[in-house]
């Protein structure tokens, strides 16, 4: 406990300056066991964490970005609920002492002025004991990200698109992180205990997850290819006229890159990988547009399939993991080609 400028303050609180109508305090905010500090977006209310030492070294007038929604504002606005509670405890205890001191002065003055009359006042102040500051027990980090641009380290707990310091993440970072997230989701379901798996499997949770994985793979590649193409190709807009959705279709996308003067993705990946990618894209199409029911278009794209028209396509975890590996290779090829 501190006795700072004759005020009793809890450990972690320091009174830096005090005027008649204002005061300035420093209140410690402890980092977690990994040296990370919580930040909470004032817009979407989601929490992320930042390396505490790197955070201290950032400029005082720093504008932070929410890693999830992209809201950006002065960094002090990103205080978490638990941190705010800690601050308000310190400020409240200090304010109580100031009020008590002013009341003591008032009563002493009244007592002196009433000695010759019929009314007298007396007051007795009790020593004030500040309450200990509440600790910080927020969600702990699972995996640390390092921004490729500013090299600041941070941790997130959901899908994200921004670095807290420099804003919008590069498209490749977003794509590769999305593929890792899909792989982590497969791992999480596979790691469940058998008695937990059984009802989930019966309710179609595993099947739905595999379908989502295939759809996410196509969406991730589409977003990356579109972003890289428009950022790299000088006449991108002219080449894209009348070609809506071209980055959802593998062969047309590869042909577009050739037209723009870039190498053939098919040659970069090899025929086997490219064929597996075509099959993944065909599977995504029937699930997105036909509830997984096989049609003639699917069989044209996947001639080796044993399915018949009208049957429902069945996915497996192995198919999804191969699709993720192939998509990583395709994303890397896009990055290499569209330098």
78-119 pLDDT tens trace: 999 999 888 888 777 777 776 666 666 666 655 555 555 555
pTM, rounded to two decimals:
0.77
Q: Is the CB of residue 33 less than 8 Å from the CB of residue 155? A: no
| Position 22 pLDDT exceeds 90 | no
What mean pLDDT comes out for the span 319-335?
A: 98
Q: How far is CA 337 from the centre of its chain?
A: 29
26-35, 47-56, 153-162: least confident range = 26-35
d(CA 176, CA 220): 9
Q: Spell out the domain ranges in the chain.
A: 170-337
Percent of the chain residues topping a pLDDT of 90:
69
Q: Are 319 and 301 in contact (CB under 8 A)?
A: no
Average pLDDT, the chain: 88
Mean pLDDT of 310-314: 95
Say how far apart CA 321 and CA 317 lie, in whole Å.
6
In the predicted structure, residue 3 carries a pLDDT above the cut 50: no
How many other C-beta atoms can be found within 10 angstroms of the C-beta atom of residue 247? 22
Report which of residues 24 and 69 the model is more confident about. 69
Does residue 331 have a pLDDT over 90? yes
pLDDT tens for each residue of 131-172: 778 778 888 777 889 998 999 999 999 889 999 999 999 999
Do the beta carbons of residue 39 and residue 156 sit within 8 Å? no
What does the pLDDT look like over 177-208, one tens digit per residue?
999 999 999 999 999 999 999 999 999 999 99
Q: Between 13 and 252, name the one with better pLDDT.
A: 252
């Amino acid at each position: 406990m501190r006795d700072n400028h004759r005020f009793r303050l809890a450990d972690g609180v320091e009174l830096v300056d005090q005027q008649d109508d204002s005061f300035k305090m420093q209140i410690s905010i402890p980092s977690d066991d990994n040296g990370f500090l919580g930040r909470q977006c004032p817009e979407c209310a989601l929490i992320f964490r930042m390396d505490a030492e790197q955070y201290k070294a950032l400029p005082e007038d720093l504008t932070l970005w929410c890693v999830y929604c992209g809201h950006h504002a002065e960094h002090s606005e990103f205080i978490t609920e638990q941190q705010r509670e800690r601050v308000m405890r310190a400020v409240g205890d200090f304010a109580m002492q100031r009020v008590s001191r002013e009341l003591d002065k008032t009563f002493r003055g009244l007592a002196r002025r009433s000695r010759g009359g019929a009314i007298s006042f007396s007051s007795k102040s009790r020593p004030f004991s500040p309450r200990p500051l509440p600790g910080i027990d927020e969600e702990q980090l699972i995996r640390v990200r390092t921004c490729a641009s500013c090299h600041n380290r941070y941790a997130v707990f959901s899908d994200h698109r921004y670095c807290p310091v420099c804003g919008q993440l590069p498209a490749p970072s977003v794509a590769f992180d999305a593929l890792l997230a899909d792989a982590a989701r497969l791992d999480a379901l596979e790691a469940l205990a058998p008695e937990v798996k059984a009802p989930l499997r019966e309710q179609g949770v595993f099947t739905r997850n595999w379908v989502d994985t295939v759809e996410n793979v196509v969406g991730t590649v589409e977003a990356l290819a579109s972003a890289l193409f428009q950022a790299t190709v000088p006449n991108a807009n002219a080449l894209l006229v009348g070609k809506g959705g071209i980055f959802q279709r593998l062969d047309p996308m590869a042909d577009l890159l050739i037209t723009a003067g870039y190498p053939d993705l098919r040659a970069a990946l090899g025929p086997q990988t490219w064929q597996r990618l075509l099959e993944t894209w065909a599977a995504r199409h029937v699930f997105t547009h036909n509830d997984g029911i096989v049609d003639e278009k699917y069989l044209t794209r996947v001639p080796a399939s044993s399915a018949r028209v009208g049957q429902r396509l069945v996915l497996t975890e192995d198919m999804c993991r191969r699709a993720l590996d192939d998509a990583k290779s395709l994303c890397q090829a896009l990055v290499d080609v569209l330098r």
